[in-house]
Amino acid sequence: MKNEATHQLCRVLVVDDDPICRQFCTHILASSGYLPFEARSAREAMVQLGLLRPHIVLVDMHLPDMTACRFLSEVSLSIPGFMDIARIIGMTGDDSTETLNNLYHAGCSQVLVKPFNGQALVDSMHPASSSEAKPISASFLQVEFRRELDDFLPALDRLITNLDWEQAGHTLHRMAGAAAFSGHHDLGEYCKKLLQILRVPDDQYAIASVYLELLQQASNVQNQSGIPDQ
């Protein structure tokens, strides 16, 4: 039987390398009475599991060091019995049947498809609960995303210049997720469009064209002073 700790005492470990998603989740959970903790990678999460013994683990499908499926497999081997008592919730930006089935097969009792809202997050903690999520400030997420762009854009430029399509794809995936959470859906769509092209990177003109459009959209976001549509 899964651990049924009341949410005021419930420890939740959020495992995601995307800081926007982590901050969104921890803010919503903390304001709703949970005790959230963070991990940026599977290895970091493994240490946290041993120290915290969380009641709930919220884990992204694609982590820097391994997939959520492999991580959960290692958890089963390293911490016998943990998967039987903890509630495991997957997160992914890919809602394909294959990805969802892989997460459920790995041990997830529920999967949240990004971008999800605060109420969906709170509802996933304890499905029978009717707790109401407290809203997170849109301006808070916007400011955080602008800060992340200062890291994302130089990294992406370096990777594309070096023709490192695989790592560029990982960066674009993170950018798309962060853009969606912060309400910058147009920029997120450009990230997805370039990511799709990079899967078969044989059209250099298309890569350059979409990349320039993405940079223009990112520049618009950095110069905005208002709050994007949610």
State pLDDT tens for residues 148-198: 888 889 989 999 988 898 888 888 887 887 887 777 888 888 888 998 898
> Phi, psi (5° rounding) for residue 135?
-65, 150
Are 174 and 17 spatial neighbours (Cβ–Cβ below 8 Å)?
A: yes
- Would you say residue 5 lies in a domain? no
Range 111-122 average pLDDT: 88
**Within-domain flag for 4:** no
Instruction: Find the domain containing 85 and state its range.
Output: 11-125
pLDDT surpasses 80 at 40: yes
d(Cα 163, Cα 161) in Å, to the nearest integer?
5
Mean pLDDT of 97-121: 91
Predicted local confidence at residue 60, as pLDDT? 95
What is the band of 46 on the pLDDT scale with cuts at 50, 70, 90? very high
Rounded distance, CA 223 to CA 226, Å?
Answer: 9
pLDDT reading at 128 higher than 50: no
Q: 119 and 171 in one domain?
A: no
Last residue of a domain, one of 58, 90, 125: 125
Same structural domain, 116 and 46:
yes
Greatest mean pLDDT range, 50-59, 136-145, 172-181, 197-206:
50-59
Per-residue b or e along 184-220, where b marks 16 or more CB atoms closer than 10 Å to that residue's CB: beebbebbbbbbebbeeeeeeeebeebbeebeebbee
100 and 21 share a domain?
yes
At 163, the amino acid letter reads L
Q: Find the mean pLDDT for residues 14-36.
A: 90
**Domain limit, last residue, from 71, 91, 125:** 125
Taking residues 68-88, what's their average pLDDT? 91
- The verdict on 143 and 199 lying in the same domain is yes
Task: Check whether residue 103 and residue 196 sit in a common domain.
Answer: no
Would 133 be classed as within a structural domain?
no
Same domain membership, residue 97 and residue 155: no
Q: Does 159 lie in the same domain as 110?
A: no
CATH of the domain at 59: 3.40.50.2300
The mean-pLDDT minimum among 26-30, 163-167, 199-203, 224-228 falls in 224-228
Give the residue from 101, 125, 149 where a domain finishes.
125
Q: What is the dihedral of CA 215, 224, 116, 8, to 10 degrees?
A: 130
Residue listed under structure tokens 């990982």: 170
The yes-or-no verdict on residue 2 having pLDDT over 60 is no
Residue 230 in any domain: the answer is no
